[in-house]
Amino acid sequence: MTKEQVIEKLVQLAKGELSPTDWLQWFEKYKDSIEGICGRLRFLKMKPKDSFSEIRNTYLSQITAYEWLKSIKITIDLSDNYKKDWEKEFENFVISKQKKTKNLKKTAKERFQYLQSVYPILFKLITQNYHQDLFISKGKSYNEIKEKENSLAIIFSEDIIEFFSTISKFQFEGISIHFDELAPLNKEQLNLLILGEFWLYGDGDKIVYNSVDHKVYSFAHEYRPPQLIKIADSLKELVDKVFVKYLKGYEKQ
């Protein structure tokens, strides 16, 4: 591939005479010649990105090709065909994303309606900005909760019963509560019940519920010595305040 041939093709690109598929195939076939003739920097700017669509890659390549042609004193009228096609594609993408978000909100509202009366703040957050990685299962029956209470030899408070009647499993990155995995913290302190994990102070920190004062603690096991640190005055506060704040933090990432 000679310099004259490369220039001819880049002129066609700048004029908008090539289809995106034709340009991308040609670039892939002659990329070594393009780099040698246009230089490493221009080559990298023209090189298609895997995460971009064909039309976006073609438009960005066109801009770089036009700049390079100007640098070697070749002036032509720049076509706006690729730009318009990319803008239309992006507009359709935004519309599609908005529609998808609307459908997700509707689905979340229908799926988690049962949370509204017990944990209204969590319900509101979910329906406004649903995290697809958030997994919540409906609660257990009263008899199942009583069986678990008897097997653990711990008297469940009203908020424990309310929580597990509403939610049997709560799963998100850094949070894991599962009714079937409830266990005492240790044999000496049967009033301390491990609800699951909440990686607040360190990976693997346990969520501990005190059946005497009804408060919720984090068992910060990486502390020396390990410590129980209060994080909520009740399970309702844990869900509608602490977990909601934690989930909101992911919205900003």
pLDDT at 105 over 90: no
Check residue 252 and give its pLDDT.
Answer: 54
pLDDT in tens, 154-175: 888 888 999 999 999 999 999 9
Report CA-CA distances (Å) from 234 to 192, 195, 197, 242: 14, 13, 16, 10
**By percentage, how much of the chain surpasses pLDDT 70?**
96
What are the extents of the domains in the chain? Answer: 3-86, 112-251
**Report for 17-26, 107-116, 119-128, 216-225: range of highest mean pLDDT:** 17-26
Nearest-10 crossing angle of helices 244-251, 120-128: 10
Q: How far apart are CA 232 and CA 216, in angstroms?
A: 5
Average pLDDT estimate for 85-103: 85
- Split at pLDDT 50, 70, 90, the class of 128 is confident
Is 96 or 246 the better-scoring residue by pLDDT? 246
pLDDT averaged over the chain?
90
User: What value does the mean pLDDT take over residues 113-120?
Assistant: 93
Predicted confidence band of residue 111 (pLDDT cuts 50, 70, 90): confident
Domain made up of 112-251: CATH architecture: 3-Layer(aba) Sandwich (3.40)
b/e map of 103-112 (b: 16 or more CB within 10 Å)?
A: eeeeebeeeb
In angstroms, rounded to a whole number, what is the distance separating the alpha carbons of residues 60 and 47?
A: 9
pLDDT score of 65 more than 90 = yes
Pick from 64, 67, 65: which is nearest to 10 by CA? 65
Q: What is the mean pLDDT of residues 52-63?
A: 95
pTM given for the model: 0.60
The pLDDT score that the predictor gives to residue 251 is 60
| Span 129-157, average pLDDT | 88
Per-residue three-class SS string for 20-71: HHHHHHHHHHHHHHHHHHHCHHHHHHHCCCCCCCHHHHHHHHHHHHHHHHHH
State residue 190's pLDDT score. 62
Q: What is the pLDDT of residue 186?
A: 73
Could you tell me the pLDDT band of residue 90, with boundaries at 50, 70 and 90? very high
